[in-house]
Chain A
Amino acid sequence: MSDRSKADKGRAILPLELRDVVFQAGGKKLIKDMSFTLSGDRTTIVVGPNGAGKSLLLRLCHGLLAPHAGQVIWHGTTRGGQPGNGSDLAVRRHQAMVFQRPVMMRRSVAANVDYALGLRGLSRAERKARTEEVLSHTGLAGRARMPARVLSGGEQQKLALARAWALRPQVLFLDEPTASLDPAATHALEAIITAIRAQGTRIVMTTHDLGQARRLADEVMFLHRGRLLEMSPAERFFTEPANDLAQMFVRGELLWWRRRKERDPRHDP
């Protein structure tokens, strides 16, 4: 807990507000006029079909992509009425992200964690302590000195999570962190995510595993074709989602070959 307060000493970066955010590539709008606010001490799960824009959304929030229109506003980045585009380095240092395809640096498992911590200016002793802590919690302690790139896909995902966790971020973005894990590892990882959350970290996570979403979510965002169609408390989302498509999605009936039909003006103006 002492470390949480250390991070807080910097500044609180939440709430995060997106205002009419548009992101496009190749002449296509991939994120369309998205607006919402993330605040409080909750876990938000982002769901939606493949290609809905979930990963893009996390990147926009994390400041890795700049919106073409609209604003990504972290608390405290509004200077003189000029909101930032979310890419402020000082703010990003209170966040961490685990990518859908984890990037392993060409170093040992422990050095991967150590490098990230080094960027936060932590002392060698502190880095070592945190590295050992997160590696043991993710079951990677025995692999600490192995090259990170020989880890299995699932182990790499665990390392990516451990590396992000070690940073003790205020906000943690997780892009399908359990996508290539076996059931036991998925379970273990969910426990870790719960533990991270209990330490006060705000979690924003995507998943295709609706069971997992049910287990972890306080709040669910449903994305479809670059639009935020629904954002509601988890219990409501899973029992009576307001949006038709969200309803079909929850029932597993939102099928890709029906996309053409769905493309009526009601859903995709």
Chain B
Amino acid sequence: MTDFGAAFQAAITLVLDWEGDLAEIVSLSLRISLTAVAVAAVVGLPLGAALALFRFPGRKILVVLLNALMGLPPVVVGLVVYLMLSRAGPLGVLGLLFTPLAMTIAQMILITPIIAALARQVIEDLWDEYAEQLQSFGAGPGRAVTALLWDARFSLLTAVLAGFGRASAEVGAVMIVGGNIDHVTRVMTTSIALEVSKGDLALALGLGIVLVTLSVAVNAAVYLVKDAAQKRQLA
């Protein structure tokens, strides 16, 4: 326990000093996860909306598949992206393996299904309610999708947040495709894994504290925004 106590104290000091390695690792993590979430939202939200609104052959299969993909194991995603990007792989010429971009791609693949599946459910429920009225207004499919995305924005924000949570907490995929290279592809989760195995509990714990704090802060911020807006709009 003294071990833990000392590590904890050291961790707090590290976090409060906020310099060098720690700051670099945190900012790289955020950059990767935020980019992945942004791209996943741009792809996933319209995809979810399309699945909610349009009836086409194979739609049900796609919905089931998407729901299944929500639980995609990160290491498997990492492995597949690794195979694609490795020198012998189909995209090997791009030389992306062990770069932050590769990690972004892996996270994006991991969370796009989450955002799309949650968005589909949210939008489908709203569409059930709105369909006749929007048709009556003479809204075409484009205008209908826009209205649904807008009116469901707070629930969709929660979906995007779920994606962010998963992206930033994930370790398996970024470890495989990023390689955890110091100063290049080292992010919070991979460093924690590494430092623990090296026995440097202080840095690991410090990073853990930052990770948890970030996650709580982001969730709290979104909650507050949502709450304030709902008081005005009753979404």
Contacts and interface: CB of A to CB of B under 8 A. Distances in A.
A95 B152 CA distance: 27
B218 interface: no
B94 interface: no
A147 B235 CA distance: 8
B234 A96 contact: no
Contacts of B139: 119
Contacts of A13: none
Interface string B124-156: 001001101101111110010001000110000
B183 interface: no
A12 interface: no
A261 to B, nearest CB: 36
Interface in A50-88: 59, 62, 64
Contact of A89 (B129, B132, B138, B233): B138
A147 B130 CA distance: 16
A115 interface: yes
Interface in B91-135: 126, 129-130, 132-133, 135
A97 B136 contact: yes
A217 to B, nearest CB: 23
Nearest to B140: A89
B136 A106 contact: no
Given A93-B138, A97-B136, A147-B232, A119 B143 contact: yes
Given A115-B147, A119-B138, A119-B139, A108 B133 contact: no
Contacts of B151: 105-107
A129 interface: no
Contacts of B235: 106
A187 B225 CA distance: 42
Nearest to B126: A106
- Where chain A touches its partner, the secondary structure class is mixed
Contacts of B130: 103, 105
Nearest to B231: A147
A77 B38 CA distance: 45
Contact of A64 (B129, B135, B140, B232): B135
Contacts of A224: none
A108 B136 contact: no
A150 B232 CA distance: 11
A99 interface: yes
B52 to A, nearest CB: 16
Given A105-B147, A107-B151, A99 B133 contact: yes
A97 B129 CA distance: 16
Contacts of B137: 96, 115-116, 119, 167
B233 A108 contact: yes
A116 B147 CA distance: 11
Contacts of A96: 136-137
Contact of A62 (B129, B136, B143, B234): B136
Nearest to B130: A103
Contacts of A120: 138
Contacts of B133: 99, 103, 105
Interface string A197-237: 00000000000000000000000000000000000000000
Of B130, B138, B147, B152, which is in contact with the most chain A CB atoms at under 10 Å from its CB? B138
Nearest to B144: A119
Nearest to A102: B133
Contacts of A108: 233
B28 to A, nearest CB: 38
A147 B233 contact: yes
7 contacts: A64-B136, A103-B132, A103-B133, A107-B233, A115-B137, A147-B232, A147-B233
Interface of B: 126, 129-130, 132-133, 135-140, 143, 147, 151-152, 232-235
Interface of A: 59, 62, 64, 89, 92-93, 95-97, 99, 103, 105-108, 115-116, 119-120, 147, 149-150, 167
Given A89-B140, A149-B234, 19 more contacts: A64-B135, A92-B136, A93-B138, A96-B137, A99-B132, A99-B133, A105-B133, A105-B147, A105-B151, A106-B152, A107-B233, A115-B137, A115-B147, A119-B137, A119-B138, A119-B143, A120-B138, A147-B232, A147-B233
